[in-house]
Amino acid sequence: MIATGKLRDLGQSLWLDNITRGLLDSGTLRHYIDALAVTGLTSNPTIFDQAIRDSADYDDDIAEAASTARSKEDLFFSVALADLVRAAELFEPVFARTDGVDGWVSLEVSPLLAHDTPRTVAAARALHRRAGKRNLFIKIPGTPEGLPAIEEAIFAGIPVNVTLLFTTEQYLAAADAYLRGVERRIAAGLNPAVASVASFFVSRWDVAVSGKVPSTLTNRLGIAAGKCTYRAYQEWLASRRFQRLANSGARPQRLLWASTGTKDPKAPDTLYVEALAAPFTVNTMPEGTLKVFAEHGRVVEALPPDGGNAEEVLAEFAKAGIDIGALAQRLQDEGAASFVKSWTDLMERVDQKSAAIRRAS
């Protein structure tokens, strides 16, 4: 059995962190589902920006939608949803077989709305309705500004992929926002089974401290931070608060490992995938990481529920002068700023592509 199948049998879901029209048209995504045990998919503005920039696959859709689109964002969502709806349909058998636990695709709401909870929730609701697919997550950042929108979206019954989480504290804040939304649904007599994942970003930790710590700590910070959060996740699942809600029909918000591609060329290309193999979690992998893991990845043992020696490793970083809390806040702030920049670049790309198509017609 190939490594991706072993990871699935261990109890972890493998999602692809990529989507392009070519992946769909060529049957590659279908192959990943059938041969590599892929059971979901995530997207982001950078992925779509590169896909639109690097091919003519979207030209016809852009030309057709341009005449009726109300804005650049509306035009982009027309194009993006065309891909994501097709992907969602490919994953519908998984979604049905797992009763909605797996088989999801994700679309990001505009990060320009981060400080406006009502508009974020309205946009999330509109996008979910527009897609018409139950297995579509709306991505909302787990920043302080995003937490109220997460709660409101869950209360509104919108499945949410919480992004940009770097620490246990940030994860728990996102989990609390999720639970508040669920509790409000129960109080209002609504079905509490609203799906969600909490996306913890791994490799950016190690990029941030590269060259600033002793060689013995190289590429260890992201894994240690992830392990600490996994322990908190296990405690959250076992908490009386969640168990009371589960008894009323609530679903657990699964922990998702994001940013799991190895950035250091000297490090193993399957580093983060192997280290964070854990049941009842998701790993969303870049396409390159998925393929190399399938080729030569190893699944030795599952991550222990207590996170192993993660606290000791974080203490070593503290001794080396790394302020974990300050760095985590910086990473989240930089990530949010990067999302805005990627979104702006994407809107410019769509506008330029639309203008070029009009000139050529």
Q: Name the percent of the chain lying above pLDDT 70.
A: 100
160-183: pLDDT as tens digits: 999 999 999 999 999 999 999 999
Give the mean model confidence (pLDDT) for residues 262-273. 97
- Tokens at residue 306, please? 């207590």
Q: Please give the average per-residue pLDDT across 15-34, as a whole number.
A: 97
Domain map (residue ranges) of the chain:
3-360
78 — pLDDT class (breaks 50, 70, 90): very high
Single-letter amino acid code for the residue at 284: T
pLDDT of 361: 65
CA–CA separation, 244 and 356 (whole Å): 56
> What is the overall mean pLDDT for the chain?
95
Chain Cα centroid distance, residue 232:
19
> In terms of Cα–Cα distance, which of 48, 137, 119 is closest to 350?
48
**pLDDT tens string 307-358:** 999 999 999 999 999 999 999 999 999 999 999 999 999 999 888 888 877 7
- Looking at the predicted structure, is the pLDDT value of residue 88 above 90? yes
Burial of 344 (0-12, 13-18, 19+ CB in 10 A): middle
pLDDT band at residue 199 using 50, 70 and 90 as cut-offs: very high
Quick check: helix, strand or coil at residue 189?
coil
CB of 165 within 8 A of CB of 200? Answer: yes
Tokens of 45: 């503005």
pTM: 0.96
**Rounded Cα–Cα distance for residues 37 and 53 (Å):** 29
Which residue shows structure tokens 């190399």? 292
Q: What is the CATH number of domain 3-360?
A: 3.20.20.70
Catalytic amino acids?
139
